[in-house]
Amino acid sequence: DQQVKQNSPSLSVQEGRISILNCDYTNSMFDYFLWYKKYPAEGPTFLISISSIKDKNEDGRFTVFLNKSAKHLSLHIVPSQPGDSAVYFCAASEYQGGSEKLVFGKGTKLTVNP
Amino acid sequence: NAGVTQTPKFRILKIGQSMTLQCAQDMNHNYMYWYRQDPGMGLKLIYYSVGAGITDKGEVPNGYNVSRSTTEDFPLRLELAAPSQTSVYFCASSYGLSGSTDTQYFGPGTRLTVL
């Protein structure tokens, strides 16, 4: 019973084009969403986040869009660069009982071809 | 700042052996977490701690124990290792902002194989 779903295990794009990574969730109580990036043999690193009260957050080449009615968020990378090749995890958070716990999707492996 | 450090990087255990995965952070974070990542899967929370002396179970705590005697350290203990515990283990920490979500910082991981 996955609460956070990344239905595309992999994505391949050309350098300079847009990468769009998608994430769906089922728990309407999630109030914060994050994207983490992971290179092989390293721990995940935080990339960008969005609160449930917003529908867009932008940071340089990275933009996250949130559609609450559809329980869907997406990460756009423009323009894509070879160094963006990594596994991207979508995570959702519900703050309850004085602490927050993250629920992660399975990840999408992005390959940016030169 | 070293951030979040984990030792060892790799370990092979025999069934029934025990070991402790070490995790330390030097960012004075209140919250610390242990996750496991199985192949092709997302990270699942094993245990977490909101401060020294306080720990609580996550989604998959069975077969593990934790302690938090200091702010800096959060060791994960495996008793009676089983093949199902073969995984990559990540430790993470965060400030623990009251009433909101803040960024978790992850260590490089420990790859554990149980044979």
Å between B103 CA and nearest CA of chain A: 7
Cα A110 to Cα B10: distance, rounded to the nearest angstrom: 26
Whether A54 contacts A31, CB under 8 Å? no
Establish if B114 belongs to a structural domain: no
Establish if A89 belongs to a structural domain: yes
Rg (CA), chain A: 14
Establish if B9 belongs to a structural domain: yes
Total domains present in chain A: 1
What is the pLDDT confidence band of residue B95, given thresholds at 50, 70 and 90? confident
Establish if B36 belongs to a structural domain: yes
Establish if B70 belongs to a structural domain: yes
Whether residue B50 and residue A95 make contact (CB cut-off 8 A), yes or no, is no
Q: What percent of chain A has pLDDT over 90?
A: 82
Chains A & B: contacts with CB separation below 8 Å: 60
A31-84 pLDDT per residue, tens: 899 999 999 989 999 999 999 999 999 999 999 999 999 999 999 999 999 999
* B62 contacts chain A (CB < 8 A): no
Establish if A114 belongs to a structural domain: no
Total domains present in chain B: 1
* B27 contacts chain A (CB < 8 A): no
* Residue span of the structural domain in which B90 resides: 4-107
Backbone angles phi, psi at A80, to 5 degrees: -75, 145
- The residues, any chain, with a CB within 8 Å of residue B79's CB and separated by 6 or more, are B18, B63, B65
Å between A77 CA and nearest CA of chain B: 20
Whether B34 contacts B90, CB under 8 Å? yes
* Residue span of the structural domain in which A57 resides: 4-109
Establish if B115 belongs to a structural domain: no
Question: Residue A43 belongs to a domain with what CATH number?
Answer: 2.60.40.10
Å between B108 CA and nearest CA of chain A: 4
